[in-house]
Amino acid sequence: MASKEDLNAKLEVIKNISDKETISPVMPVDVYLQEAENLYHWAEQDATELQKGGITKEFIEDLSVRTGACREAQSVWKTTQNAQEEAQTRWKNESPLAYELRDELVHTFRYAFRKQDELLKKVQAISENSGHVDMIQDLNDLAILGTANQAALQAINLDLGKLELAAHTSDEMAKLLAIVNGEKSTRNESITIRNKAFTHLKEAVDEIRACGKYIFWRNEERLKGYKSAYIGKMNKKQNNKEEKE
C-alpha cells in the first residue's frame, strides 16, 4: 500500500510535468525501479557527504517516495494494459459469432416475413446497418421484432431461443465494446502518468548520481553505487560486439 500512498502524494506534481518534458523509460522499468531503490539505500549512507554537493537528506528521502510513486504507476499501467488485451481478445473471438447470429436472423426473418411488406421493410432497415455499434443494436432490434411476431417464426420452425440469445448477445457485446473503447482511453491516461512518474523519478536519480560521482570521484568503493549497473552491462556488451566486428 506504500506505493499507492506515494503515488497519491506525488500525483499533483507528476500531472503538472509538461508533455514536452515527459520522457519514456530508457530501460526496463522494473530494472530502473530496483536501481532507484538501491541508490536510495546507498545514498542514505552518504547523506552527510552528499550535502557538500547540494543533495539534502530530504531530497534523498524524496527519492524513495518518487520510486514508490513510479512503481504504483507502472502497476496501474500494466493492469490496464492486461485488461485491454483481454477485452480485445474476447471481442476478436466473440464478435464474429455475434455478426453471424445477426446475419442468420436477418436471413430467417426475410423468409418468415416474405408475405408481410411492413415487417420486411423493418428487416431491410436493420440489414442496411453496418459496424460494431449497429450490429449490437441490430441484435436487440431483431429480438424485439421476432418476439412480437413469433407465430410467423414458429411456422418455419425457428428455435425461439435464438431471440433470447440475440438479446443476451446484444447486451454482452455492448458491455464488452464499452470496455474495449474505455480501456483505450484509460490506458492512454495510465501510460502518460507512468511516463511522467518515471520522468519525476529520473530527475532525482540523475541528480543524486551526478552528486555522488562528483563527491566520490576518487573513492571507487563509494563511487560504484552511483553508477547504473544495467547501463554498464549494456555498454560492455556493445563494446564486446564492436571488438568482434
Q: How many domains are there within the chain?
A: 1
- Residue 235, pLDDT score: 78
Tell me the C-alpha distance between 98 and 138, whole Å: 10
Cell of 203: 530527475
Q: What is the pTM of this model?
A: 0.71
Unique residue bearing C-alpha cell 549497473: 229
- DSSP SS3 for 28: coil
Taking only the tens place, the pLDDT of each residue in 47-60 is: 999 999 999 999 99
- Residue 244, pLDDT score: 55
Cell of 180: 474495449
Q: Would you put residue 159 in left (φ > 0), alpha (ψ -120 to 50) or beta?
A: beta
Return the half-sphere exposure (C-beta side, CA atoms, 13 A cut-off) of residue 54.
8
Q: Residue ranges of the alpha helices (H) in 52-160?
A: 57-112, 117-127, 132-148, 150-155
Pick out the chain residues at pLDDT < 70.
Answer: 1-2, 183-187, 238-245
Count of all residues that appear for the chain in the document: 245
CA distances from 35 to 27, 38, 71, 74, 217 (A): 11, 5, 12, 15, 20
Using the Cα atoms of residue 80, residue 83, residue 88 and residue 89 in order, give the sign of their dihedral. Answer: positive
Question: CB–CB of 25/32 below 8 Å?
Answer: yes
- Residue 234, pLDDT score: 83
- Residue 178, pLDDT score: 85
- Residue 243, pLDDT score: 52
Question: CB–CB of 230/27 below 8 Å?
Answer: yes
- DSSP SS3 for 203: helix
Diameter of the chain measured on Cα atoms: 96
For residue 194, give its domain range: 2-244
- Residue 83, pLDDT score: 81
